[in-house]
Amino acid sequence: MCSATNGGFVPNFGDFQLEIYFGGLGGVLPTMPMTYSELEERAKYALPPGIWSYVAGGAGDELTQRVNVTAFEKYGLIPRMLRASKERDLSIELFGMTLPSPIFMSPVGVIGLCSQDGHGDIATAKAAARTGVPMVMSTLTVDPMEDVAAHFGNTPGMFQLYTPTNKDVAQSFVSRAEASGFKAIVVTLDTWVPGWRPRDLSTSNFPQLRGHCLANYFSDPVFRGLLAKSPEDDPKTAILTWISMFGNSLTWDDLDWLRSLTKLPIVLKGICHPEDARRAKDAGVDGIYCSNHGGRQANGGIAAIDHLSDVVEAVDGLPVLFDSGIRNGSDIVKALALGATAVGIGRPYAYGLALGGVDGLVHVLRSLLAEADLLMAVDGYPTIADLNPEAIRRG
C-alpha cells in the first residue's frame, strides 16, 4: 500500500524489491528462495519426511491439486496503459476490518510442526503481527489458541473450526476463540472424513493419531471433563476420545445451531457450487470461502479458481474468501479480478516457515505481495477496486 496518511508515507509492497537490490550493493544476497519451485524443493529437505508428505501431498493421484495450480495459466490480466500510479492501495474491508492487503494465511493443520522449533502456530502468529497479514488458525495446533492469539499484535486473526460431534466442546472452542480476540469463525465443511491420501497412507502417517496438534482439545476444559485422567497422564485415551468426536457431518439443518454459538462472523469453507453459495447466504452466514482444500480432500474435481466467478455472482456482494493453488503474486491478482474479497496462501507460507522460521515466512508473504503490487502497477490497476471481471480474460 502506498498513501499519504496524516503526512506520513507508507511504501508500496513492491518496494521490497528495492530492499533486495540495495542489499546486493552491500554484498547482501537473499538467503531465501525467490521462486515457488525453489521454495518447494528446499522445503522438501528441511521438513521431516512424514510432515513433508502431509503438507505437500493431495488426494488420489493428485490431479485436482495439480489443476488447482495450472488452471491459473488459462487466465490473463489485460494491461491498461496511461493509468500508471506511483501510489497503490491494496487494502480491503472484511467483516468490518480494514486490512492493509488482500491476502491471509489459510489454516494448515500441521503448521505447528513445520517450524524447526516445533511451535509453528506461534511463529505464524508472529509473522501475522509483522506483516499485517491475518492468520486463519486451524483447530489442529501444537499450542492452545490462547497462546497463539497472544502473538497477533494488532493484526486480526480468524479461527477455523473443525466442528466436533460433541456440541459442548464445539461451544467451548468458539467461546474460547471469542475470548481470545479472534474476529471470525471459519467452519470447514469438506473434512468431516479424511480424503484418500496415498502419500500418507504409504507411510501410515496421520499426525493427530500420534497425538500431534491436539492442543486445543487437550487444553479444553469441556474436553478434559470427559476424561477419567488428564491427557498428560493418559494420552492414549485422550487421542481415542478425540477420534470419537472429530468428523461432524454437518447439514443445512445445523446452520442455526452454528449461528447460535457466536455473534462473530461465520464463514463457510469449502463452498464451490453456486447453489450452495446462494443457500448459505440465504441462511444468514457472513461469508463464503471458496476452496477445494488445496486438492487434499477430493480428487477428480475441477480447479477451485474455475468455481470462483460463479460463487461470487451467486452471493451478490457477500464477502468471498478464496484459496487453493495460489503460488505467486499473479495468482493473487487473478483471483481478485475474478471477484475474491481476500486470497488465502497455503503451502508457500508453510515452506517459508520450514526454511526460515518467522523470517522465512515473512519473506514469502512480502514476496507474494511485492509481485502482486508490481503486476498491478505495470498493468495499470492501482487499487483492488480496479480489478474487476473486465480486467481479466480466459484464454
Closest CA to 311 of 284, 347, 271: 271
Whether residue 198 is annotated as binding a ligand: the answer is no
Give the DSSP H or E segment for 148. Answer: helix 145-149
324 is in an annotated binding site: yes
Q: Which of 119, 151, 293, 363 is catalytic?
A: 293
Question: Cell for 26?
Answer: 552491500
325 in a labelled binding site? yes
Rounded CA gap, 152 and 131, in Å? Answer: 10
The answer to whether the annotation marks 138 as part of a ligand binding site is yes
Q: Is 244 annotated as a binding residue?
A: no
Query: Which is nearest to 131 in space by CA: 365, 375, 380?
Result: 365
**Rounded Cα gap, residues 223 and 219, in angstroms:** 8
State yes or no: 188 annotated in a binding site.
yes
Strand, helix or coil at 211? Answer: coil
51 in a known ligand binding site = no
**Does residue 273 have a known ligand-binding role?**
no
Cell 511463529 appears where? 123
* Cell numbers representing residue 38 in the block: 525453489
d(CA 255, CA 226): 26
Residue 153 marked ligand-binding: no
> How far is the first Cα of the chain from the last one, in angstroms, to the nearest whole number?
30
Is 88 annotated in a binding site? The answer is: no
User: Is 293 one of the annotated active-site residues of the chain?
Assistant: yes
- For residue 10, what are the β-bridge partners? 3
Does residue 351 have a known ligand-binding role?
Answer: no
Residue with grid cell 513445520, as numbered in its chain:
114
Whether residue 107 is annotated as binding a ligand: the answer is: yes
Residue type, 184: A
Grid look-up 500508471 returns 84
45: annotated binding-site residue?
no
- Residues marked active site are found at 293
Binding site, annotated residues: 54, 107-109, 138, 160, 162, 188, 197, 269, 291, 293, 296, 323-327, 346-347
Residues contributing to the annotated binding site for glyoxylate: 54, 162, 197, 293, 296
Binding residues for FMN: 107-109, 138, 160, 188, 269, 291, 323-327, 346-347
